[in-house]
Structure 1
Amino acid sequence: MAAEVTLRRFELSDVDAMMAWASDPEVAAFCRWEPYESTAPLLAYLRDTVLPHPWFRAICVAGAVVGAVSVSPTAERCRGELGYLLARAHWGKGVATAAVRRALRAVLAGAEVEGLARVEALVDMDNPASQRVAEKAGFRREGVLRRHYWHKGRARDMVIYSFLATDPLPECE
């Protein structure tokens, strides 16, 4: 990986950079949403969901926004759910792994999310690249949740990963 991966809060002005990957059917394949076809609904999502979110960050490479990583609260305050996605041009280069490691350090070591004891990642069984990201970032595979999630017309098996606040924090490259 040549350029440093950094995380920062999103801004409304990031909508065009987001559109580059949010409109890509391959990026959206394992996401809950369909590829965006115009910036207006993406701008609304950015304004209404991303900006007020407690921990939703832009993944940047050489200052350019190339993806997103989030840790979302769950019904159990000690748990957060990790989500990440990346522009296709950056797949397979260690960018997602570096971003997830940075996110873990921020939310667990930086006390940005009070009371967080566990970060979970639920990864589609048919997404081995995302499973590798979780594993390389230091998450422990706990098992498969069979037919756990209704996604784009069918029930999907999900691999559940966890990272505990007591686990050694991963090094950031």
Structure 2
Amino acid sequence: MEGISIASKPSGIEESIIDFSQITLRPLHLSDIDDVMVWTTDKKVAKFCSWEPHNSKEDGINYIENIATKFLWCKAICFSDRAIGCISLSSNSPHDISRNKSAELGYVLGSNYWGRGIATFAVKQVVKVTFSELSHLERIEALVDVQNVGSQKVLEKSGFQKEGVLRKYVQLKGKGRDMIMYSVFDNDPKV
């Protein structure tokens, strides 16, 4: 995911309550390409991500086949089995995972689904499974742009603690950006 994106209220979808039993996390497949293109071509979604909006299906195929597979852990966020976003963990030390006790969380969600609790639900699920599936990990961290208030709320509702602001920490789309570091530990109280 190379960045975190979630920030505003939904637009263009019914304002009904989400049935969270229809939210699942599963591997991304090439058959998801049409769904992936919806959120990877959206400028609102890419705003706080390191990547630019995709321009072609080839970009989407490359994302599924090459980029998503490079993460330590990566799943599609699905609503009724349609890929509406993606959530991943990347290793801070990919060459020596046995010595690395932390991973960085990243997620992206189609803008039509913002503000409905889906990202918070997905992050909570990842926190639950990560420390058992990847038992060497002790810490999950997330970097969030200071202007990405929606993502800050997602992490706080998911039990992450704000550690501080890292000034001009990331070069994002040609600009130095301030980032907020959040973390959750394997022994933190679960939300």
Q: In structure 1, how many angstroms separate the alpha carbons of the residues matched to 2:188 and 2:56?
A: 42
How do 1:1-173 and structure 2 match up within 5 A? Answer: 1-4=17-20, 5-75=23-93, 77-108=100-131, 111-170=132-191
* Pairs aligned (count): 168
Shift of 1:161: 0.3
SS of 1:167's equivalent in the other structure is: coil
Gaps in structure 2 of 5+ consecutive residues: 1-16, 94-98
Give secondary structure in 2 for the equivalent of 1:101: helix
SS of structure 2 residue aligned to 1:51? helix
- Answer 1 or 2: higher relative contact order, Cα 8 Å, separation at least 6: 2
Task: Give the whole-Å Cα distance in 2 for the aligned partners of 1:49 and 1:88.
Answer: 21
Secondary structure of 1:133 counterpart? helix
Q: Do 1:10 and 1:51's aligned partners in 2 also have CA atoms closer than 8 Å?
A: no
Query: Could you say what secondary structure the match of 2:133 adopts?
Result: coil
Secondary structure of residue in 2 paired with 1:168: coil
How well do the aligned residues superpose, as a CA RMSD in angstroms? 1.2
Amino acid at match of 2:188: D
Q: 1:52 offset after TM fit, Å?
A: 5.0
C-alpha distance in 2 between matches for 1:44 and 1:64: 19
**Partner amino acid, structure 2, of 1:149:** V
Normalised to the residue count of structure 2, the TM-score between the two structures is 0.84
CA 1:51 to 1:136, structure 2 compared with 1: closer, same or farther past 3 Å? same
Find the aligned partners of 1:62 and 1:92 in 2 and give their Cα distance.
Answer: 18
Q: What is the rounded CA distance, in whole Å, between the counterparts of 2:29 and 2:92 in structure 1?
A: 24
- What is the TM-score normalised by the length of structure 1? 0.93
**Aligned letter for 1:164?**
F
- Tell me, what secondary structure is at the counterpart of 2:187? coil
- Give aligned-pair identity as a percent: 40
Matched residue SS, 1:130:
helix
